[in-house]
Amino acid sequence: MSDYQRMISAATVGFGAKPFPAGTFDPPVDGRVAAVCDADDSVGSVLRVAGLYAVARRAGQLPSSIDPATAPAPAETRPLITGAHAFLIERALTVRPILDGVLGDIAAAGLRLPPRLIPELLRLQQSGVVTQALWDAIGSGGQWYAVEHYGRGHRALRSVRWADSTDWPKETDYTHGDIAKRLEWLAVARTLDPDRARDVVASHWTSEDAESRATLLAAFAAPEHDADEPFLEAALDDRAVTVRSAAVAVLDRRSGSRYLDRMKARAAHIFSVKKSVLGVKITVHPLPGPDAAAVRDGLSTTKPEAVIARTPIAFWSEVFGGAAPEKVARALPDTVLAALTLSALRGNDPRWAVPLLQRCLPTDYGTSYDPATAHPAISAEMIRALTNTAESAPLVRLAAGLPRPFAREVAEALFGSLAGAAWGTARQRREAAAHLAAGYPLDWLPRFVALVDRTTDEELHRFYATVFELLTLRSDIAKELP
């Protein structure tokens, strides 16, 4: 335990039980502790030493050694933001959704952050990757510092240092790295030469365990390359069920493939449609007993729902012969309706998805709905469908994934859902408030003021007030931009 930790421990349990440590403190403050300590004022001494540590952390550290071969940082080309702007950004450091948007605005405006903020911002990114917005906003000096701090090959810098690279990545990262590094290598290699990347994967395929094979297959989901299809089709014959399932998941998502053609062939016999002046009558037929080809494609049942969900909604629109989606929805039993809704969600087709969601919310909607790419009308209807779903706070996850700023219809749907159970517990609502404040257009501030003023429920008032405070912070930061 360091002397700083012993000091905090003593302060926690009381100096009657543990004395104030008199040893040597950590290097950033050692030699200066004696000047601020008073034997007759233990409490004040703790606060002053803690202040020394806080100042030391803010100031950063001198390098223990300097490599004379290290080139100096390039000259800055971006002007600094103002002091007031930097102060407001410090307030946003703990609110990651807002911080990400602020960094994007600074980068887009051609400005840069002051050096004192750069170490803390890089520390916040250390568990993931440095984003392009942060990379641009820290300027030439900050980029130099990041490379020296992390190391040139560090994965935290992969999205910015490799973005425009034309150099083939080291294949030892794939052959000898952990699964994260291998996926990283594969993503970069597929952007440079997808055929060569696939050949490298195939050359080591038989020596991979089932878990690795399934994980690597998922990396072929995007971007799509036609030449990958034979490799993916071959994986349908893998000896491991997890690998076969992974192959089905990838083939199932492609915009066109032999797999989808086989699904359409099976789907063609599921529905019989009769239209009349009174509406539409739809008869649902079971699938034939699964043969070897069906089992290979992941079908082991005579129930038609699996094929319906995996077949593109454009195909079903032709099958139903131009019948209105609302009439089709009323004519289908619930299980089949859920499968057709999944097809519409996967196809991102609001003409079908919206009326289907109004009648049926599939329990596994998350497998087919992605808020980041969904049409705004679909997201708005999904929000309304989920508003009173208490289990697992689904709207928190949905709000986190939505594009920002929110589209007008999405913003309206969210606003109407704020009192619903789908925002979860008080802790989950605090998390949601950050995502909402990061996504709402700033002209919504007056509506949140009115909402806060008229709300009497204490928990809801706290939720709305948090959104308002964070949205106000975003507004204040935006005012500092030129």
pLDDT computed for residue 157 by the predictor: 80
Quick one: DSSP state of residue 73?
Answer: P
Query: The tokens of 147 are what?
Result: 């490379």
Cβ(356)–Cβ(341) below 8 Å: yes
Separation CA 368–CA 379 (nearest Å) = 12
Bridge partner residues of 330 (DSSP)? none
3 state SS of 172: helix
Rounded-to-integer distance, Cα 312 and Cα 315, Å:
6
Burial of 278 (0-12, 13-18, 19+ CB in 10 A): exposed
d(CA 269, CA 275): 17
Asked if residue 216 lies in contact with residue 228, where contact means CB atoms within 8 angstroms, the answer is no
Length of the chain counted residue by residue: 482
* Cβ-contact 323, 277 below 8 angstroms: no
DSSP class per residue in 341-374:
HHHHHHTT-HHHHHHHHHH---TTGGGT--TTTS
Backbone phi, psi, residue 112, to 5°: -140, 160
- Burial degree of 351 (CB within 10 A; 0-12, 13-18, 19+): middle
Torsion sign (Cα): 450, 455, 460, 465:
positive
388 contacts 421 by C-beta, under 8 angstroms: yes
| Residue 89 near residue 481, CB atoms below 8 Å | no
Q: What is the pLDDT of residue 65?
A: 62
405 and 371 in contact (C-beta within 8 Å)?
no
Tokens matching residue 306: 């699996």
The three-state DSSP-derived secondary structure of 71-87 is CCCCCCCCCECCHHHHH
pLDDT, residue 278, reads 77
Note the helical H segments in 393-444.
394-401, 408-417, 426-439
Number of Cβ within 10 Å of residue 182's Cβ equals 21
Q: How far is Cα 167 from Cα 152, in angstroms, rounded to an integer?
A: 14
Q: At 420, give phi and psi (nearest 5°).
A: -75, 165
Question: Would you state the pLDDT for residue 150?
Answer: 77
Question: In 3-state terms, what secondary structure has residue 112?
Answer: strand
> Bridge-partner residues for 284, per DSSP?
271
Q: Which residues contact 213 (CB under 8 A, 6 or more apart)?
A: 205, 235, 238, 240, 243, 246
pLDDT tens, per residue, the chain with 482 residues: 566 667 777 677 676 666 666 666 777 777 788 788 887 787 888 888 888 888 877 776 666 666 667 788 899 999 999 999 999 999 999 899 999 999 999 999 999 999 999 988 988 876 677 889 999 999 999 999 888 877 776 777 877 765 556 789 899 999 999 998 899 899 989 999 999 999 999 999 999 999 999 999 999 999 999 999 999 999 999 999 999 999 999 999 998 899 999 999 999 999 999 988 778 899 999 999 999 999 999 999 999 999 999 999 999 999 998 899 999 999 999 999 999 999 999 999 999 999 999 999 999 999 999 999 999 999 999 999 999 998 889 999 999 999 999 999 999 999 999 999 999 999 999 999 999 999 999 999 999 999 999 999 999 999 999 999 999 999 999 999 99
